[in-house]
């Protein structure tokens, strides 16, 4: 049986296979037999996540990066971000940057 800390604990939907669990937030897989996931590499986390020192994928706070949401306020979301634009600016279709509405 996997120790609780090895279980795939992600609330993300779709992490139902060993491969998806190990590429997501899990560090081990199994119910009756526990198999550790391969040693993680930083590029194995889903987009918008980075591998933490505990081996699990953690949300990246894009709002801390320079140049994000210029002319607006950045709001971090799970796996991404959205911009709330200042007056006179509108968000792009992805809501990840503010552009002048002029």
Q: State pLDDT tens for residues 15-64.
A: 456 666 666 555 555 555 566 666 655 457 888 888 888 878 889 999 99
Q: State pLDDT tens for residues 72-83.
A: 999 999 889 999
Instruction: For residues 9 and 32, state if they share a domain.
Output: yes
Give the pLDDT of residue 41.
53
Instruction: For residues 55 and 68, state if they share a domain.
Output: no
Q: Is residue 1 within 8 Å of residue 34, measured between CB atoms?
A: yes
46 or 3: which carries more pLDDT confidence?
A: 46
Task: Give the range of the structural domain holding residue 37, as residue numbers without chain letter.
Answer: 4-59
Question: Domain of 76: which CATH number?
Answer: 2.10.25.10
Instruction: For residues 9 and 55, state if they share a domain.
Output: yes
**Is the per-residue pLDDT at 13 higher than 70?**
no
Q: For residue 22, what are its two tokens?
A: 């190990």
Q: For residue 47, what are its two tokens?
A: 């987009």
Give the pLDDT of residue 64.
94
């Amino acid at each position: 049986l996997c120790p609780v800390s090895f279980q795939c604990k992600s609330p993300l939907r779709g992490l139902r296979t060993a491969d998806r669990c190990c590429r997501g937030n899990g560090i081990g897989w199994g119910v009756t037999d526990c198999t550790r996931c391969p040693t993680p590499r930083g590029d194995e986390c889903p987009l918008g996540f980075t591998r933490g020192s505990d081996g699990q994928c953690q949300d990246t706070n894009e709002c801390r990066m320079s140049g994000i949401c210029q002319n607006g306020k950045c709001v971090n979301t799970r796996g991404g971000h959205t911009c709330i634009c200042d007056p006179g600016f509108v968000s792009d279709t992805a809501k990840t940057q503010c552009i002048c509405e002029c």
